[in-house]
Amino acid sequence: MRGKKLWFKAGSLLTLGLVVVVLFMTLSANNIINANDVSNGTNSNNVGNANNSNSLAWDKTFAPNDKVTVEKVSFNNRLGINLVADMYLPKNMNRAKKAPAIIVGHPFGGVKEQTSGLYAQEMAERGFVTLAFDASYNGESGGQPRNIASVEALVEDFSAAVDFLGTRPFVDRDRIGVIGVCASGGFAINAAQIDPRLKAIATVSMYDMGRATREGLGYAPVPSEMMTKEDRIKVLDEVAEQRWTEFEGGQKKYGSPTAVELKPSQVAAAKEFSDYYGTPRGYHPRSAAMSLTSTGVLMNYFPFAQIETISPRPILFIAGENAHSRYYSEDAYKLAGELKELYIVPGAGHVDLYDKMEYIPFKKLESFFKENLKKR
The answer to whether 183 and 207 have CB atoms below 8 angstroms apart is yes
Which residue in 183, 167, 192, 142 sits closest to 294, CA to CA?
183
Distance, in Å, from the CA atom of 125 to the CA atom of 92, rounded to the nearest integer, reads 10
What does the pLDDT average to over 260-269? 94
Is the pTM for the entire model greater than 0.85? yes
What pLDDT score does 57 carry? 87
Residue 136 DSSP class:
T
Which segments of 138-223 are extended strands (E)?
171-181, 198-204
Task: Give the rounded percent of residues in the chain with a pLDDT score beyond 70.
Answer: 85
| β 82-90/129-133 pair status | antiparallel
**How would residue 56 be classed by pLDDT, with cut points 50, 70 and 90?**
low
Which residue in 97, 112, 2 sits closest to 47, CA to CA?
97
The answer to whether 89 and 65 have CB atoms below 8 angstroms apart is no
What pLDDT score does 376 carry? 81
What pLDDT score does 323 carry? 98
Sign of CA dihedral 85, 206, 126, 177: negative
Task: Give the rounded percent of residues in the chain with a pLDDT score beyond 90.
Answer: 84
Q: Percentage helix, strand, coil, to 5, in the chain?
A: 40, 15, 45
Q: Is the pLDDT of residue 185 over 80?
A: yes
What pLDDT score does 17 carry? 38
**How would residue 45 be classed by pLDDT, with cut points 50, 70 and 90?**
very low
Tell me the DSSP string of 270-332: HHHHHHHHTSTTT--TT--PPBTTHHHHHHT--TTTTGGGGTTS-EEEEEETT-TTHHHHHHH
What does the pLDDT average to over 158-171? 98
Residue 169: burial class (beta carbons within 10 Å; 0-12, 13-18, 19+): exposed
Rg (CA), the chain: 20
Q: Is the pLDDT of residue 92 over 50?
A: yes
What pLDDT score does 325 carry? 97
| β 129-133/171-181 pair status | unpaired
Cα of 265 vs its chain's centroid, Å? 22
What pLDDT score does 1 carry? 60
Which residue in 128, 115, 116, 134 sits closest to 68, CA to CA?
128
